[in-house]
Amino acid sequence: MDEDEFKHYMDAARVAAGVRTVAEECVKPGAKLFDIATAIEAEVAKEGGKNAFPVNISINGTAAHYTPCMGDESVVGEKDVVKIDFGVHVEGCIIDQAFTVDFGGEHGKLVEAADAALADGLAVMKAGVSVKEVGAAIQNAITSRGFKPIENLGGHSLEPYILHAGEEIPNTARGSYVLQEGDAFAIEPFATTGAGRVDEGTYCEIHSLVNPKPVRLPQSRRVLEHILEEYRTLPFAKRWLAEMLSTSSIELVVNDLVRQGILHSYGVLKEVNNGFVAQSEVTVIVEKGGVKNLC
């Protein structure tokens, strides 16, 4: 990581700190998910950063990838377990962080398990350590508290404008990658009362560019040009295109680009037994003797 990248990470971390405060304040029972997401995303811009991906608001047995669509009237319930996952980038350098709130007070130990797993995982991370060792620490912290880690979710390496850059911090004791000094990683334990796996559902509001190529339809071409300029390879929400097209046109264009293999779809991820899920996440830079926590 060169000096410019490091500076951009530090700038993104500063923005994310301010955004986190707003996120914690606006998540409350009765609040519309659409209002929460747009408030957090607006705060990113206000603080001088850009959204690295749409705000995820995943409730109860939903683990990830739920962001509200246009017209979404869903609200936070009084007993919901709510996960807020947001990302900030400066010149492509991404801060990815998440937290969980248990409004009903019935799943506090589950939230504690995810938080403890994050702390234990961070404690063993340093240059020269295998991700398997980090995953073992995460797994032990969760299982020792009576819950299960979600085995097919995990943290991920970060590179400029690449949210998932190829290497994983697993939630279980597996993997062979050895951490290197200067690596940027999002580490995000998921703990559940369920079976410990997620499946992809049908709801999908989030997409990303994976294979840009010429397209025939004028509307699709205009949207593709916008994606290339504004988001590059970072995930975006269909609702972010509302100023360009009507809702029906957005669906037609996005479906066209998905069909051609130009866009990748992120379907909502749900725990297979509908168990409650808690998540805790920070972004770090790996150092010789540990990690620099950017959140």
Q: How many CA atoms are closer than 13 Å to the CA of 234, on its beta-carbon side? A: 28
Specify whether 96 is catalytic.
Answer: yes
Q: Output the CA angle 27-30-32, nearest 5 degrees.
A: 70
Name the DSSP class of 75.
Answer: B
Catalytic residue among 5, 11, 43, 85: 85
Question: What are the φ and ψ backbone dihedral angles of 14, each rounded to 5 degrees?
Answer: -60, -45
Closest by CA position to 113, among listed 90, 91, 89, 81: 81
The single residue of 96, 183, 205, 271 carrying the catalytic annotation is: 96
Please confirm, yes or no, whether 156 is among the known catalytic residues: yes
State the catalytic residue, choosing from 41, 112, 256, 281.
281
Catalytic, 3? Answer no
- What is the side-by-side order of every strand in the sheet holding 50-59? 50-59, 81-90, 93-102
Q: What share of the chain is helix, strand, coil (3-state, %, to 5)?
A: 35, 30, 40
Q: Which of 65, 107, 156, 207 is catalytic?
A: 156
Q: Respond yes or no: is residue 4 known to be catalytic.
A: no
Active-site residue, selected from the candidate residues 102, 168, 188, 205: 188
Whats the size of the chain, residue-wise?
Answer: 295
- Cα–Cα distance list, 290 to 17, 110, 120, 175 (Å): 21, 26, 12, 19
Specify whether the CB–CB gap between 294 and 95 falls below 8 A.
Answer: yes
Let me know if 47 is a catalytic residue: no
Phi-psi map region of 174: left, alpha, beta (phi>0 left; psi -120 to 50 alpha): beta
Of 164, 226, 264, 287, the catalytic one is: 164
Give strand pairing partners of 283. 186
Cα of first residue to Cα of last residue in the chain, in angstroms, is 18
Q: Is 78 annotated as catalytic? A: no
CA distance 287 to 291: 5
Query: What positions carry a catalytic annotation?
Result: 85, 96, 156, 164, 188, 281
